Structure formats: structure tokens, C-alpha cells
A = this chain, B = another copy of it.
């Protein structure tokens, strides 16, 4: 039995020093560079060398050290993904898809989660210290923060976020267009008295949706639209509906919620708390097209983000930029899928 304290990678214990390419080289009777070559893509190594090295490596439980490799190659093969609470809650598949797609390119995801979108500052420092090869952010950056990242030479893709007056790569769903469609169809079907339920104030997505809805209403000559603030939760939607009723003294024709969860809360409130029929007594629309929106009891009229295509686009964009940093910026805007549920009265099946 080997008693040397420096012996590496014995398959029995595991508390010893981990095997390095030097250990493997020594055991195989070859040079360290040879070991390195065997573990690379376009290596030049004879079959015999390969066999000897691999045998020694297996014996010692050797695995190349990705940290050391990253240091010398200047490529960590990691990208940072920054999400806020909301990103994950309402699109749980986002992270999994992103991670799997990066993985196919040999790239790992270093995850950063924010309580609120404002907390990016310190986080950014850590992101940059890890020398990630790129960054996908589903949280808002200030222009200054964005420049900090650019100066560090790290390609960025904004996910569902945009920048006034700054050239940046971005992938997003056209929330404005989606809201305009919803409002347009509701108006066309005769709805005149609207109410809006927004998401959290620090949500860029909610802001864009609300703005889109208000713009379209303005165009259609609908004024005095009560706006109630929610926090994206169904409970807040239910409470918001009560606020609207208090505010108006009667039911509006339509309630436009900034996401599906709140729309569902509104439907619950309308039915349970006010005995209103949906959509007979009031039409309610949401946004996102998440799973629960399709449950039979709700069947929310909404707009679905094409998350699969969006994550695919984000990954492709970032990988391209990592390979060639000089590629100029691009914005990819995806239209949402229009879902006509039964929670709103629309004029007819034909599209508009």
C-alpha cells in the first residue's frame, strides 16, 4: 500500500492531493506536455502514447483542471447568467433551456440571482472577477454598468431588456405589440371602460407592457383608465381587482393584467368575491402564456412569449460574439403568440 502523503488520486481514499498532469506523466513515463496533448482536441500523439497516458490517467483518477486551463487559455468557458426573482418564477423553463443550449457548446453557466433588479451593482463585480466569456442578463443594467462590462471586453446579450440610446445585443419579446393586439381586440368587441393591473415597479417588462397598453388606449380615445399596482402574484391580482371595484364603484368592461398570474387572481376575485361572470360580466386578459393560464378553469386570453426561440437566439448571439468580439450589435425582437382564451369577449375568430 502506498503510504506517501503526496501520492495523488488513489481510488480508495480521496483525501489526498488530486492528480495533476505531472503525476500522470511520471507514471506513464512521458513528459507532462504529452499528457496535455492527449487530453486535447487537435492533439498530435501516437496511439501508443495515447494508450499509456490514458491508462495512467485512469489509474490516478486524473481529470484536467478547467481552472488552470482557463488561466492559460484566457477562456473560462463559462458565461454568467443574471436573473431576477421574476424571471425564474414565471418562466421556469428559461434557465434550463439556456443552460442546456450553452452546454451543447461546451460552455457552463455561472448563475447570479437578484432579489430585485436594482441589486446588480455588487453582483457585477463578481461576474467580472470570474472572467466569464460572456453574459446574458434578464435584469436591467444602467448605461454605466453596461459600459463597465463592455470595457472589460465581455460580450453581453440583454434578455427582454432594452437600452435607450445605446447599441447593445438584445433578444426580446415585443410586449408592446402584444398589448396593442389585446387592447385592440377588446375595443373592437365593444369594451370601453378599461382598468390596468401593473407588475412590480422595478420590472422593466411590466413597464413596457403597461406603456404599450396605455398608448393603444390613448389612440382609441379611451381616457381615465384606473391603474392599480400589483407584484405579479395572483394574490396581488385578486387584491387589485377589489381596488378597481372600489375605485370605479362598478365593474369595468375589461381588466388588462401585466401577467397571467395576476389575471388569474382577477378572475378569482371577479367570480368569488363579486359574483361576476367571466367574460360575461367582465373580460380579463393577461400576458406570458404560462402553464396555469391554460387550465380549464381560467383559459386566459393572453400573449405567449416564444421562450424556446428566444433562448436559442440569445445563446447563438452570445456564442457568435465570444468567437468574434467585433461582430456588430443586433437586436432580435420576437412577436408573441396570440392566445384567444375564454376569459375575454372577442369579436370573432378571424384575426385582426
Contact = CB atoms under 8 A, between A and B. Distances in A.
Given A67-B67, A71-B67, A61 B151 contact: yes
Tally of this chain's copies: 2
A226 to B, nearest CB: 23
A130 interface: yes
A99 B112 contact: yes
Contacts of A347: none
A153 B15 contact: yes
Contacts of A48: none
Interface string A78-96: 1001010100111011011
Contacts of A113: 95-96, 99-100, 103
B297 A268 contact: yes
A271 interface: yes
A272 to B, nearest CB: 5
Interface stretch (A121-129, A312-320, A327-335): A121-129
Given A100-B113, A111-B99, A126-B108, A153 B63 contact: no
Contacts of A111: 81, 95, 99, 108-111
B65 A131 contact: yes
Contact of A272 (B126, B294, B296): B296
Nearest to A90: B92
Interface string A221-256: 000000000000110001000000000000000000
Top 9 A-B pairs ranked by shortest CB distance? A297-B297, A268-B296, A14-B151, A99-B113, A66-B129, A92-B92, A292-B292, A96-B113, A109-B111
23 contacts: A9-B151, A14-B150, A18-B152, A63-B125, A63-B129, A65-B71, A66-B129, A67-B76, A67-B131, A78-B110, A88-B88, A88-B92, A92-B92, A95-B111, A96-B113, A103-B112, A108-B110, A109-B111, A234-B294, A272-B296, A292-B295, A295-B298, A297-B298
Interface of A: 9, 11, 13-15, 18, 61, 63-68, 70-71, 76, 78, 81, 83, 85, 88-90, 92-93, 95-96, 99-100, 103, 108-113, 115, 125-126, 128-131, 150-153, 233-234, 238, 261, 264, 267-268, 271-272, 291-292, 294-298, 325
